[in-house]
Amino acid sequence: MVIAEIKPFGEIKEIVKNHDRILVMGCGSCVSVCLSGGKKQVELLASALRMSKKMDGFDAVISERTIARQCEPRFIDQIKDEASHYDIVLSMGCGAGVQELAERLNSIPVLPAMNTLFIGSADGEGNFLEMCSACGECILSLTGGICPVTRCPKGLLNGPCGGSKNKKCEVSPDIPCAWIMIYERMKALGKLDVLKKSIGAKDWSKQQRPGRYTIKGQENEKVS
Does residue 82 sit within a domain?
yes
Q: What would the pLDDT profile of 138-171 be if each residue is shown by its tens digit?
A: 899 899 999 999 999 999 999 899 899 999 999 9
191: containing domain: 133-207
Q: What would the pLDDT profile of 67-97 be if each residue is shown by its tens digit?
A: 999 999 999 999 999 999 999 999 999 999 9
Statement to judge: residues 113 and 29 lie in one domain: yes
Statement to judge: residues 10 and 99 lie in one domain: yes
Does residue 183 sit within a domain?
yes
Q: Which of 2, 82, 11, 13 is closest to 49 using CA atoms?
A: 13
Query: Into how many domains does the chain fold?
Result: 2
pLDDT tier at 135, thresholds 50, 70, 90: confident
Does residue 108 sit within a domain?
yes
Statement to judge: residues 112 and 18 lie in one domain: yes
Q: Which residue type occupies 44?
A: L
Mean pLDDT computed over 116-123: 90
In angstroms, the Cα distances linking 179 to 46, 145, 191 are 45, 12, 14
Statement to judge: residues 114 and 146 lie in one domain: no
Rounded CA separation 5/43 (Å): 16
Q: Positive or negative, the Cα torsion across 25, 1, 120, 213?
A: negative
**Tell me, what's the pLDDT at 163?**
92
Statement to judge: residues 16 and 114 lie in one domain: yes
Does residue 218 sit within a domain?
no
Does residue 223 sit within a domain?
no
pLDDT at residue 204 tops 90: no
Statement to judge: residues 184 and 137 lie in one domain: yes
**Tell me, what's the pLDDT at 122?**
85
Does residue 221 sit within a domain?
no
Q: What would the pLDDT profile of 182-191 be if each residue is shown by its tens digit?
A: 999 999 999 9
Does residue 46 sit within a domain?
yes
Rounded CA separation 20/60 (Å): 4
Statement to judge: residues 13 and 86 lie in one domain: yes
Q: Which of 91, 127, 115, 118 is closest to 16 using CA atoms?
A: 91
Statement to judge: residues 57 and 112 lie in one domain: yes
Average pLDDT, the chain: 91
Mention every residue, 6+ apart, whose C-beta is less than 8 A from residue 122.
1, 33, 34, 128
Give 197 or 114, the one with higher predicted confidence. 114
The DSSP code for 159 is: S
